[in-house]
């Protein structure tokens, strides 16, 4: 699995959001957390993107486009507006164009899950991208920890520890622990900004700790400089030139 794919997959966890209001930790029926998802049909954003896996590092600009519950599109341009890679994530597959090597990749979620030893699917990716709970609250024990309400959810070999801000009432941190490998993924959201009555984090940081394989950590930092909730449909251009080779 090449570095570009890892870069693209980590980028998927970059964009997230926070609720626009403060409320009680529980709903009226005491059976769910009051963590409100962002409301939009189409979203676009521009960001500075930094990646470091201990062996190689990248610094690039990235454009995001999202059609909620349907498509996620990412374009990478390291300098002078020259695009080097494009990603299209659908509910069924992930497509990647490497414009430097003139190669393209197509992966099912089953293939991605097998290659990365992590359960990838569109719903999970969109939840992380939007700052929603990956594994929903199902009457787990909630504890108050510093400025967070926290609870742990499990799915298979994965444990999700969710940290919900006491002032924002939205997911501000999530840690995913793989009991099979001992690896951990941590994502933090901060420096929130207001966009059309919705609140988004301006700074994102993510760390993959490969404890089991004794590998250097993979770190990603994203700083947004523009974010727009679009009034209507936007395009998600993706086509493979005839001279590109499939990998």
| Per-residue pLDDT at 123 | 87
Query: For residues 174 and 187, is the Cβ–Cβ distance under 8 A?
Result: yes
Tracing tokens 């409320």 back to the chain, one arrives at 23
Residue 39: CATH number of its domain: 2.50.20.10
Q: Residue 106 belongs to what domain range?
A: 3-231
Q: What is the pLDDT of residue 124?
A: 81
Confirm whether 242 is domain-assigned: no
Q: How many domains does the chain have?
A: 1
Residue 245 in any domain: the answer is: no
Alpha-carbon distances of 227 from 43, 181, 230, rounded to whole Å: 8, 36, 9
> Is residue 124, in this structure, part of any structural domain at all?
yes
For the chain (247 residues), the mean pLDDT of every run of 10, in chain order, is 58 44 46 70 91 85 94 89 92 95 95 77 82 76 86 88 84 88 86 80 82 78 88 96 94
The span from the CA of 212 to the CA of 209, in Å, is 9
- 240 occurs within a structural domain: no
Which residues lie closer than 8 Å to 20 by C-beta, 6 or more apart? 36, 194, 197, 198, 199
In a domain? residue 58: yes
Whether 237 is in a domain gets the answer no
Enter the DSSP assignment of 238. -
User: What does the pLDDT read at residue 15?
Assistant: 47
């Amino acid at each position: 699995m090449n570095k570009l794919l890892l870069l693209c997959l980590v980028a998927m966890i970059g964009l997230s959001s926070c609720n626009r209001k403060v409320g009680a930790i529980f709903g009226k029926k005491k059976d769910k957390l009051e963590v409100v998802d962002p409301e939009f049909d189409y979203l676009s954003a521009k960001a500075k993107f930094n990646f470091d896996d201990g062996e190689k590092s990248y610094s690039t600009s990235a454009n995001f486009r999202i059609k909620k519950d349907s498509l996620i599109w990412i374009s990478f341009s390291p300098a002078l507006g020259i695009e080097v890679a494009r990603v299209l994530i659908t509910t069924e597959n992930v497509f990647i164009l490497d414009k430097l090597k003139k190669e393209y990749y197509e992966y099912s979620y089953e293939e991605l899950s097998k290659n990365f030893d992590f359960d990838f699917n569109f719903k999970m990716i969109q939840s992380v991208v939007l700052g929603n709970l990956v594994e929903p609250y199902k009457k787990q024990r909630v504890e108050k920890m510093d400025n967070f309400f926290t609870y742990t959810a499990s799915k298979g070999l994965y444990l999700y520890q969710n940290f919900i801000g006491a002032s924002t009432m939205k997911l501000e941190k999530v840690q995913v622990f793989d009991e099979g490998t001992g690896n951990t993924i941590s994502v933090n959201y901060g420096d929130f900004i207001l966009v059309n009555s919705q609140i988004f984090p301006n700074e994102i940081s993510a760390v993959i700790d490969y404890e089991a394989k004794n590998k250097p950590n993979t770190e990603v930092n994203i700083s947004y400089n523009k974010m727009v909730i679009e009034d209507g449909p936007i395009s998600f251009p993706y086509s493979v030139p005839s001279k590109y080779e499939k990998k």
